Structure 1
């Protein structure tokens, strides 16, 4: 009974943290979008000013889209059991789909993609696209423009190995200790969001572990590497407990 009460209290704490994050974080981009739209429609602005306001609207809308997608996925993971609909998928197809939906600022980074011809795994393709989207967006948001982002994939025996590598400032030890925890507060800036709602990397970890895989964060000189290993084979339909 004590364990159940503690678990329920923990769930309530997570929900309260999520609601606080939503109320604060969604208000800011919505206010920015509304103010920018009003200025664009009511003021005589120069071409440079119009471009700046339009860019701001685009960036805030993109962040809102990513946040909503993560929240929708979180609602799915909130069930006690989630069925993974696995099939044989090519990693290059997953990366291609992810790149079609990531932050538009990806165009400001040279992309280096190296996927082995036999890099095929028995995975839930839709969830793995979300994994790649979050990792690529993380690299885009936290590295200087013009620095390369590398995506590497290979088959190593019975495992699919994926690396997402950037050349940003890296992650200090305090951040690394709780890097994959959800609901980061602004007083502790995590690598998966410039605002306080840290959902992206936590969702990545949940999805990878649901596939019986592992994810680690490695510091490089310079930059960071997120290293994922996933089983290449498994049962076609598998029910897995998501621990979020």
Structure 2
């Protein structure tokens, strides 16, 4: 009999794996509805939906291996990263989904609140927080909305050799800033940014991507600490903040 493994679990949602089936349980069924719709709209390979219940979504596992994990060198080839870049460009040029993601004011307010918490927590030097908040301001500018994945972590992309074969976890997909997608995908993997952009192909402001690295790391740190994850692991969020320049 296949064992049940917990992929991730917190107060809002949980993902379980049973053999080749993933069960996504969400306290808000509207998020699951939106994820199903996003996968149907996205011009990329996505998990096959097996069945849907009010608070549960069952999807099939995708083939291949993850592009990498945060904190470790990516085992994928430069060609695989370029293929992912080309696919992300295709997503960003697709027709917009009908819903809008977090806007500039909302992101700025969250960033400032998280910086205030970090300053009071003592987990990072105040000078490091202030430097990253300054750099983060470069990302906080108007953008042309694109169809974005919204949580484009390296673990959400699966490749087989040099080919992209699956993209998972579409719950945050919306209209948003395409450079945030590129930043999340390369967070902690700056050395693969050129490979990704070789496939993406557009003129990209790398300074904005770097700024989104600071935004992402500053806003995620408290949640990670409060949910049993360690952003101070080598190559993870705190190292990204320390590398800010």
TM-score (normalizing by structure 1): 0.28
User: Which structure's residues are more often helix, by fraction?
Assistant: 1
Relative contact order (C-alpha < 8 Å, sep 6+): which is higher? 2
Larger Rg: 1
TM-score (normalizing by structure 2): 0.28
